[in-house]
Structure 1
Amino acid sequence: MGYERVMPSHLPQLILLPGLLNDAELWRDQISGLSDVARVWVPDLTPYATIREMAEHVLAGAEPTFALAGFSMGGYVAQDIARIAPERIERLALLDTSIHVDTPQRAAQRQALNKAAAKGGTFLGIGQAIMKSYIDASRLDDAELTGRIVDMTQRLGREVFLRQNSLEREDGEAALRALRVPLVIIVGENDQITPAEGHRAMAAAIGCTHLVVIPDTGHMAPMEAPGPVNGALRHWLARPAGKR
């Protein structure tokens, strides 16, 4: 007699939003590790030229209500969803991201990266040269981890990078502060792209009392530290609805 696993219908939909030059590979360990507590969907954000287009794509494909987690650029998409359809969000997680517009310094960095990427030649994605700013120093010799990141970013390619790195990012503080749902903020302790200190300020600004700082972890927390990330998301999914 065969056995077919039947997913309980009461499990919430969990939408995992990738970051810049990321796809579902970013969330591989969350897709498998949280399958017993949620029905996971990772939308493809790569075709879209604005944060609003990404948010509208997610809302068009989502169930009426859902749990929402956004990583890095995906955090800005989550904030826009909170801005235009807050009633559909049952709970919100923000990972290694920001709620503010780019500083002039960060905007200049983006312009420089776009200029370099547009020159042609082989597109290296998040290659070894800049890997040290994306993951913790202790993981730079982890060939499996770095290989997954390089392969993912090279697969998505130059056009996606230029499009996503040019996105205009809006301030999300007011939209997030207005939510009355379970919130969690997760960040790698040694995140150089969106530092932990900024996440502490973010938590204070939006009234989030659940802040998880993961030791020995850089910006790519879902890939670098799947155990702690899954544990934090599992706890967040289990918290009572309707309470921050």
Structure 2
Amino acid sequence: MTPALLLHGIGGRAALWAPSVAALAPRPVIAMDMPGYDGKGPALASFEALADAAVAQLNAAGITEADVVGHSLGGMIALELALRHPSRVRRLVIVASSPAFGSRDPAFRESFLAARQKPLDEGIGMAGVAAALVPAMLGPAADPGAAPAAMAAMGSVDEAAYRATLAVLTGFDRRADLPRVTQPALLIAGEADQTAPPRGMARMAEAMPDARIIVIPGAGHLLPLEAPGAFHAALLEFLS
């Protein structure tokens, strides 16, 4: 079976993929912690570097080709990986993500960064940020365990790495390159997701040569946690 590489979002950690690792068994799975997120090293300063770090994880495990699954920011890294190292990706799964940061306007970028960094500047820490952000990301049908798991993961993220990764996020734009994505791709959207709305993900799928989209009813931005049954059913059907 083709190994899978799982890439978490900006507020996530590799541990959040534990239900997916179990659902994918006996397939070999690597759930990657983003560089710097465990506080043991620096965050990386570009999507190119993040994609290369993912390839380094594959190399370390002796894996030449993988099915790559990315959630939110991880979906952006997965897209970068598929474009930058196409021979390393058999199938691509992009979950609750987009092909670009929300706006090219420098003023929007600065406003976004200021809003996300202000709570940290005020000293509430990552746990406080998680408590403020996570509930608003959930859809009306979220599994009861989704919020506690997401808040625990985000609260454990190294603050300096989170700040650095926010800055990296605002520079991402691969919209023009979507027609070059040659791998079969599945896009999974949450019906109630306001961060990566289904309509935007549908446009993304339309721009890719071999892509389709699934929308999970009642789910928000954290849909692997919110609707694990529906998410894993779609994932397993596509990867098989």
Q: Shorter-chain TM-score category?
A: 0.7 to 0.9
CA contact 2:125–2:159 (8 Å) conserved in 1: no
Question: 2:44 aligns to what?
Answer: 49
* Residues 123, 154 of structure 1: 8 Å contact kept: yes
Q: Who is 1:74 aligned against?
A: 74
Contact 2:205 2:211 in 1 (8 A): yes
Name whichever of 190-199 and 114-123 sits farther off: 114-123
Aligned twin of 1:161: 162
Amino acid at match of 1:46: P
The answer for the alignment partner of 1:190 in structure 2 is 192
1:24 to 8, 11, 14: 14
SS of alignment partner, residue 94 of structure 1: strand
TM-score by length of 1: 0.84
Q: TM-score, normalised by structure 2?
A: 0.85
Aligned match of 1:135? 138
Which residue of structure 2 aligns with residue 96 of structure 1? Answer: 96
SS at match of 2:137: coil
- Within the alignment, does 1:117 sit opposite 2:96 as a pair? no
**Aligned counterpart in structure 2 of residue 60 of structure 1, from 56, 59, 75:** 56
Deviations 1:97-133 (A, max 9, x none): 0002331486322332113323324432553433332
Determine the C-alpha separation between the residues in 2 that align with 1:126 and 1:69.
26
Separation of aligned partners in 2, 1:127 and 1:87 = 36
Query: Any conservation in 2 of the 1:125–1:153 contact (CA below 8 Å)?
Result: no
The 1:106–1:98 alpha-carbon spacing in structure 2 relative to 1, beyond 3 Å, is farther
Paired residue secondary structure (2:115): helix
RMSD of equivalent CA atoms:
2.0
Aligned to 1:207: 209
Paired residue total: 225
CA distance in structure 1 between the aligned counterparts of 2:126 and 2:12, rounded to whole angstroms: 15
Greater Rg over alpha carbons, structure: 1
- Cα deviation for residue 180 of structure 1 reads 2.6
Determine if contact 2:93/2:185 at 8 Å carries over to the other structure: yes
Task: Determine the C-alpha separation between the residues in 2 that align with 1:209 and 1:81.
Answer: 16
**Structure with the higher fraction of residues in helix conformation:** 2
Distance 2:20 2:50 in 1: 21
Alignment gaps of 5+ in structure 1: 1-10, 239-244
Distance 1:165 1:39 in 2: 30
Measured in 2, the distance between the counterparts of 1:102 and 1:169 equals 10
Three-state SS of the structure 1 residue aligned to 2:188 is strand
Structure 2 distance, partners of 1:209, 1:145, is 28
Amino acid at match of 1:49: L
Identity across the alignment (%): 24
Q: Is the 8 A contact 1:188 1:219 kept in 2?
A: yes
More deviation, 54-63/169-178: 169-178
2:184–2:211 Cα contact (<8 Å) kept: no
